[in-house]
Structure 1
Amino acid sequence: MTKPILVYRGEYVESSHNLHIAVVNKEGKLLYSYGNPERLTFPRSSMKPFQAVPLVETGAADAFDYRPADLALSCASHSGENYHREAVLGILEKLELTEEALQCGTHTPWDLQSYKQLLRAGKDVTPIFSNCSGKHSGMLATAVHKKEDAASYREVEHPVQQRILTCIEAICEYPKDRIQRSVDGCGVPVHQLPLKNAALGYAKLAHPDGMVEQHYAIILNRIREAMIAHPEMVGGTGRFDTDLMKAYNGRIVSKAGAEAVQCIGLVEEGVGIAIKVEDGGTRAVNVASMEVLKQLGLEDEQIFSVLKNYVTAPVLNARKETIGVVKANFVLNKV
């Protein structure tokens, strides 16, 4: 059986990937699917916009004078570029905390220029380089504002994490006693739910009015508008979420998750899309996302030209020569 994502070396298929896709409207109706739209999935960082809801709901964002760019950063898997790091440090300064308060760990940043600068200076990466440092600084902000223990903010029973669980239950319409939890790459709880419920969350993020309690609608509108207004904070230079939101200019909100998850909200339509590549192959997920947008009627010649390296992703050799492509090869099932 032909797989939905094909990886070509020259003219020959070398590898392939399976997909699961759910496309849901804001009322919760499954519109299109591929594979298993009920697949239990950890959406990973795609849940960051919902993890940011308590930051606004508690009043912490206003108390610490969060700019829209800061709010977008709290939803980010950022590249660790200078402006990302400076923004995180600015938030921590308002909280009267140092970088050591961040419990996200660290890793080599996606922005290799920043990493090379560090190496030339004889320094090593620190927690602000973590792609999750914006999320963690937001969690710290809620704990500090509520006068809760900041040292244990990532523990599953901490009020910070319990508020997040309540928000995910309400927005994604999945009972919290059925949401299984594990640990994300940055050390905080991560939530498992059916793919179609993640898609529903993004339908509501895109168009929440009348679909959730009014205070949630106000918050989700604020978070979405911040992400769309500052897509560079959500990802960074050459990142899919950033490039997609820029190209669609207010019509799409987008957030990737680890292990090849992608969630997208269509603002005008009030439709949510959740995609999971079965084997976690990240090279497949952007191509799959662009094919879904195409099949939903959002193909635009100019936009797709700008995003051409995501529509069919080039396979490069060590000399940076294109020696193959990653192509989509599936048709969504209309429900």
Structure 2
Amino acid sequence: MPQTFSAADAVELAVIERSGFVESRHVGSAIVIDADGQIATQLGDTSTPILPRSSLKPLQALACLTAGAPLEGVQLGLATASHSGTDRHASAVRDILDAAGLDEHALACPAAWPLDSGTRDDLIRAGEKPSPVRMNCSGKHAAMLLACVVNGWDPASYLEFEHPLQVHIREVTERLIGQKITSTAVDGCGAPVHAMSLMGLARAIHRIGGASERSPFALHRQAATLVRAVRENPWTIAGPGRDDTVMIERLGVFAKVGAEGVMVMSAPNGTTVALKILDGSTRAAALVAVRLLERAGALAASEVDDAVTALPLAVTGGGRDVGVIRSAF
């Protein structure tokens, strides 16, 4: 059975302190690629495949662009997002569907309540039910549907592994990661998710994060357009107060968390980190990523120190702060 790396091949990435006592430890693996494309840091096993989960979304969104989906600005940000399901997010997803001539019934992602608690409470008070458009992956699904319509591909079967769209996404992904995909699973939203090494994932995000809109290569120009869309509209990729949005707003990075402890982040100069926390927790992922970029010289320590104050890192006891989640280096 295909599987990811083991604890024996991981290193400590973060610790949780409570009242001066180290209560828990997060182990995992991470890799940093510098602005010139050279490996700056390797921690643990970066060659055994992982499932990138939603950290794959930038690659999937870029594949939709290369397939001809007319996405830009806010809509392109939503195509890359694990959004909070606010009215603003849902409206942008509906705009993508409108461009495809489809409605919410075409979405094959599960019905869900918004991740944003205020929006969820408002919908419950209004007598609404969970819906696919509020599901955090609905932007990605809407972009996939738009790509299908543009190409005349069947939108009803767009999540099948051998659908023309998914074949195209796999080919673009292999080109970006520089590896052949040998394992594919079903993500939480129902879309295919491809296994790859942290090394491959980091190289893909490095290529996307360091791309130029003046490149002679169309793929690179489109990648740069995607990154700009997210940096100019950081609310799209997650939502108010959430880690990705906070780090983009405060540090100008390109960041995308994935379920089960995955995180990718690219600094403004192109230095890129990809990491996997082995126990699947994401609570320390953004912190570890920015500290690794700081250690590589891509982010200023003072700016990182300020930015991490906005992350939910406090450990509480009796209604007050008694400890903290901190990186292990």
Per the normalisation by structure 1, the TM-score is 0.89
1:258 aligned onto 2:270: no
CA deviation digits over 1:185-239, x for unaligned, max 9?
Answer: 00010011110110101110111359x9812111111111111111110111001
1:307 aligned onto 2:308: yes
Q: Structure 2 unaligned runs (5+)?
A: 1-7
The structure-2 alpha-carbon separation of the partners of 1:309 and 1:60, relative to structure 1 and needing over 3 Å to count, comes to closer
Q: The residue matched to 2:29 in structure 1 has which SS?
A: strand
Matches within 5 A, 1:92-241: 92-176=97-181, 178=182, 180-208=183-211, 214-241=217-244
1:60 aligned onto 2:69: yes
Instruction: Show the counterpart of 1:276.
Output: 276
Q: Structure 1 unaligned runs (5+)?
A: 331-335
The letter for the 1-side match of 2:231 is I
Q: The residue matched to 2:195 in structure 1 has which SS?
A: strand
Following superposition, the deviation at residue 253 of structure 1 comes to: 1.1
Q: The residue matched to 1:17 in structure 2 has which SS?
A: strand
CA deviation digits over 1:15-59, x for unaligned, max 9?
Answer: 111020011246653221111121311111111111012322222
Whole-Å Cα distance in 1 between the matches of residues 191 and 35 of structure 2? Answer: 28
Q: State the percentage of identical aligned residues.
A: 31
Q: Which moves more between the two structures, 10-19 or 286-295? A: 286-295
The letter for the 1-side match of 2:172 is C
CA deviation digits over 1:122-143, x for unaligned, max 9?
Answer: 2211001111000000000011
Whole-Å Cα distance in 2 between the matches of residues 238 and 279 of structure 1? Answer: 24
Following superposition, the deviation at residue 283 of structure 1 comes to: 1.5
Following superposition, the deviation at residue 108 of structure 1 comes to: 3.0
The structure-2 alpha-carbon separation of the partners of 1:187 and 1:226, relative to structure 1 and needing over 3 Å to count, comes to same
1:50 aligned onto 2:72: no
Note if contact 2:243-2:286 (Cα within 8 Å) is conserved in structure 1.
Answer: yes
Note if contact 1:198-1:274 (Cα within 8 Å) is conserved in structure 2.
Answer: yes
1:24 aligned onto 2:33: yes
Following superposition, the deviation at residue 302 of structure 1 comes to: 4.2
Q: The residue matched to 1:125 in structure 2 has which SS?
A: coil
Instruction: Show the counterpart of 2:47.
Output: 38
Instruction: Show the counterpart of 1:267.
Output: 268
Instruction: Show the counterpart of 1:324.
Output: 323
Whole-Å Cα distance in 2 between the matches of residues 299 and 18 of structure 1? Answer: 25
The structure-2 alpha-carbon separation of the partners of 1:4 and 1:46, relative to structure 1 and needing over 3 Å to count, comes to closer
CA deviation digits over 1:54-88, x for unaligned, max 9?
Answer: 32222221xxxx34110011000001111000111
Count residues with an aligned counterpart.
Answer: 318
Note if contact 1:54-1:142 (Cα within 8 Å) is conserved in structure 2.
Answer: no
Note if contact 1:206-1:253 (Cα within 8 Å) is conserved in structure 2.
Answer: yes
Instruction: Show the counterpart of 1:293.
Output: 293
